[in-house]
Structure 1
């Protein structure tokens, strides 16, 4: 029996500033001194959406269905499997808090601030814009593997990790490998970036973060259940595409990862191929089992998706 991951209650934590853009629910918190989770964390609630009813159901007087998105469990599972790959990623926990504005308890995930104290953060979009006057973050024009490689040229891997002396792009290739494994479709130009030490001016790649769209977390539970029932999870994996690269063109996630592995250093290519090949699926399945509040069909879906995508990637990198 695998122990479930804790859901951290932020009731005694110090509330910091909300994220820019007026999102009151997405807020920074500071752990109390007695907490095992020392530091500065960003809480992100799982999103809840009321779905539009068909005319027939409206006429019947049915109540609208409510979609509870799974960003929280997707973030937690993605972080834990990133560790299995040894991909540097922002530490993530499940969390809950009572919103002061509504007095409502909400659930979500929290990620530890990946910035060392006083270090500056620059998103990938700013780096790409410096290299390409035609880059456009909204349309993803200019967000390509080759452009990212050029933008990261001369930079090093994340500070405080085993990759601190690696070329930044060699580490970034691992991020794209992770995306292909977890079906993360949201690696846009603001979902990666670099950190700068204000004392020395040194710049390094930041850890991977923001994996909430992974593993079909935005689908209804019944949709994931139907894929399992009809044995269509493998087909879903094969159709996994992102529109965050190549000017918004729908591109297979495994192809994006392979593009990065084909142009990174030989040692890095061998390293990442070995990492995905050597993953213990039983440990991976334990991660899914330890994630609380998942339905049995969703657990089955996530296990099958991770096993299927791992095989697809392993076959491709051989």
Structure 2
């Protein structure tokens, strides 16, 4: 508890902290809901996104341990298009930044504590296995499972097309990636990050 607000601290190495901060900055730049992250020495800290007045319901309470994109999309669509669109934004960011840790306790819904009414998806959080958290790859990033799963979701549900019919297409450029790298306040290979994130972003071209 600091100045009346709860923060969670996680001990992470430098690349893990960078990955958390970069995804936070990119989410903010694109207008995607995100938990707040700050660097704090050997720790990364994130503010309680429930603010003590909301309930977080993990996706596991809806779908068990089934991480299948189609199953989850259809489950969230039951709560309306706004919720389903927020889930798509989560998947887009996972594809852009190769977040391989989207288990069913790592995303979910925010509910009113008194009424139980679903208000929104929880903001995007926990990215310490995304991007370069496990080190730099020896070769340029190519198509991977997260990109392929997003294309498969579109083929079965048209979820991304439906999202884009209601929202402007997220625009990521090498310049934006460099800006997000700078805003983390950490030293990183910017050229590598530009190649990495743009490779993930190209999945939208394939879908569109």
Corresponding position: 1:206 with 2:122: yes
Query: What is the alpha-carbon distance in structure 2 between the residues aligned to residue 285 and residue 74 of structure 1?
Result: 14
Shift of 1:267: 4.4
**Structure 2 residue aligned with 1:155, among 79, 87, 92?**
79
Q: Is the 8 A contact 1:194 1:205 kept in 2?
A: yes
Determine helix, strand or coil for the equivalent of 2:169.
Answer: helix
Greater relative contact order (CA < 8 Å, ≥ 6 in sequence)? 2
Q: Is the 8 A contact 2:173 2:198 kept in 1?
A: no
Q: In structure 2, what is the equivalent of residue 180 of structure 1?
A: 95
Determine helix, strand or coil for the equivalent of 1:88.
Answer: coil
Corresponding position: 1:238 with 2:131: no
Corresponding position: 1:144 with 2:52: no
Higher relative helix content:
2
Corresponding position: 1:110 with 2:45: yes
Determine helix, strand or coil for the equivalent of 1:300.
Answer: helix
Change (3 A) 1:300 1:182: same
Pairs aligned (count): 205
Query: What is the alpha-carbon distance in structure 2 between the residues aligned to residue 253 and residue 109 of structure 1?
Result: 25
Q: In structure 2, what is the equivalent of residue 287 of structure 1?
A: 180
Shift of 1:288: 1.1
Shift of 1:261: 4.2
| Cα distance per residue 1:54-80 (max 9 Å; x no partner) | xxxxxxxxxxxxxx4621110000111
Larger Rg: 1 or 2? 1
Shift of 1:116: 3.6
Corresponding position: 1:268 with 2:179: no
Query: What is the alpha-carbon distance in structure 2 between the residues aligned to residue 281 and residue 197 of structure 1?
Result: 39
| Cα distance per residue 1:118-174 (max 9 Å; x no partner) | 322221112113xxxxxxx3xxxx321121123223325xxxxxxxxx431221011
Structure 2: where are the runs of 5+ without partners?
A: none
| Cα distance per residue 1:103-129 (max 9 Å; x no partner) | xxxx12111111142322221112113
Higher relative strand content:
1
Flag as ranges the 4+ runs of structure 1 deviating above 4 A: none
Corresponding position: 1:168 with 2:83: yes
Q: Is the 8 A contact 2:76 2:87 kept in 1?
A: no
